[in-house]
Amino acid sequence: MNYQVGDTIQPFSLQNTDGTQINITDYKGKKVVLLFFPLAFSSVCTDELCSIRDNMKIYESLKADVIALSIDSFFSLKAFKAAQNYNFTMLSDFNKEVSDRFGVLSQDFFGMKGVAKRSAFVLDEQQKIIYSEILEDAGNIPDFKKIQEVLR
């Protein structure tokens, strides 16, 4: 399944950095920015997520929650979050089920298969996708200005 703008996502549950299952349905009634990123501790991923961290007040003012997802284990994500003082939820899609649903799995990320492509999705309060950006070049980051416009 590859979600498109206008689709309502199916519920999913993933582990956060503490190993606790977080269900996306807990965010119903809120706008959500879902950011898929390839791998913890890689340079572009660090830059991307530090940008979110440093601009979190903007997302809070737009009444949006930010959730970052990768195929890393929740143990790796916990260390990554602590090292960078990230101030948003991070979820482990270790089994790649959610990344597959969103159609963002790369078959060649520096020779690795099944790594999430850098992607951004914005969900409205009913969990319908109102913005989608899947980047083929992992060296690029999502258009955060456009995401903020959509959230307004």
CATH class of 13-151: alpha beta
> Among all residues, which ones are annotated catalytic?
45
| pLDDT of the residue at 1 | 62
Give 69-108 pLDDT, tens digit per residue: 999 999 999 999 999 999 999 999 999 999 999 999 988 7
Name 8's bridge partners. Answer: 128
Tokens of 60: 């809070």
Q: Is the dihedral of CA 51, 14, 129, 63 positive or negative?
A: negative
Collapsing DSSP to helix, strand or coil, 70 comes out as: strand
What is the CA angle 98-17-12, rounded to 5?
25
d(CA 75, CA 104): 22
Give 6-58 pLDDT, tens digit per residue: 999 999 999 999 999 999 999 999 999 999 999 999 989 999 999 999 999 99
